[in-house]
């Protein structure tokens, strides 16, 4: 899929990626004003069983706290992404990416764990423009499983399809 470079959701997710280390594995915590791309109450929720989360114990972590947690993790670890697929919500206020995360230690070139997931970004219109309000990560074995998560848990249209995509910190 070739997503338009000027799509507002693509722009927001690219900015998110820059501030959350998706492209270079680095997070500059001196930059703490995220208001240009997220709402003040923006959260990320990792749904079970991702990242050791237990069913029913999922918590929405505020975006600034998530950045601090990721910054610590990226000091010793690296993340690669591949097999990326993209879907843009027809309403223009959501985007989903399926990819396989390959977790590695920074000093070893071997993959310790591969985690297929769907990354769901929802935005809202504010006085300052479109801003990300929630990000959800769900386990999804493949793009079809990711599509089912979108339809069943996020009320996306049944005809939603995730198309191959190269971008957002991934080599596909």
DSSP H or E segment with residue 144: helix 143-154
Predicted confidence at residue 123, as pLDDT, reads: 98
Predicted confidence at residue 3, as pLDDT, reads: 57
pTM, entire model: 0.89
Exposed, middle or buried by CB within 10 Å (0-12, 13-18, 19+), for 110? exposed
pLDDT string in tens for the chain (172-residue length): 445 667 899 999 999 999 998 888 888 888 888 999 999 999 999 999 987 888 888 999 999 999 998 888 887 777 888 899 999 999 999 999 999 988 888 777 777 888 999 999 999 999 999 999 999 999 999 999 999 999 999 999 999 999 998 876 554 3
| CA atoms in the 13 A half-sphere facing the CB of 70 | 24
Q: Whole-angstrom Cα distance, residue 16 to residue 105?
A: 23
Residues in a beta bridge with 95: 88, 121
**For residue 145, what are its two tokens?**
């499983």
Predicted confidence at residue 4, as pLDDT, reads: 62
| CA atoms in the 13 A half-sphere facing the CB of 119 | 19
Q: Whole-angstrom Cα distance, residue 5 to residue 30?
A: 28
Predicted confidence at residue 172, as pLDDT, reads: 37
Predicted confidence at residue 170, as pLDDT, reads: 52
At 44 the three-state DSSP class reads strand
């Amino acid at each position: 899929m070739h997503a338009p470079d000027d799509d507002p959701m693509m722009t927001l997710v690219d900015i998110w990626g820059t501030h959350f280390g998706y492209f270079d594995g680095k997070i500059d915590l001196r930059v703490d004003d995220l208001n240009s791309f997220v709402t003040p109450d923006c959260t990320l929720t990792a749904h079970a069983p991702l990242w050791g989360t237990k069913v029913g114990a999922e918590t929405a972590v505020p975006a600034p706290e998530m950045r601090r947690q990721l910054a610590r993790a990226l000091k010793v670890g690296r993340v690669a992404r591949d097999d990326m697929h993209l879907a843009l919500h027809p309403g223009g206020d959501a985007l989903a990416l399926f990819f396989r995360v390959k977790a590695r230690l920074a000093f070893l070139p071997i993959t310790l764990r591969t985690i297929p997931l769907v990354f769901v970004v929802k935005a809202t219109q504010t006085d300052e423009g479109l801003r990300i309000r929630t990000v959800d990560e769900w386990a999804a074995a493949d793009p079809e499983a990711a599509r089912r998560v979108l339809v069943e848990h996020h009320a996306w249209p049944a005809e939603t399809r995730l198309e191959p995509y190269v971008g957002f910190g991934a080599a596909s």
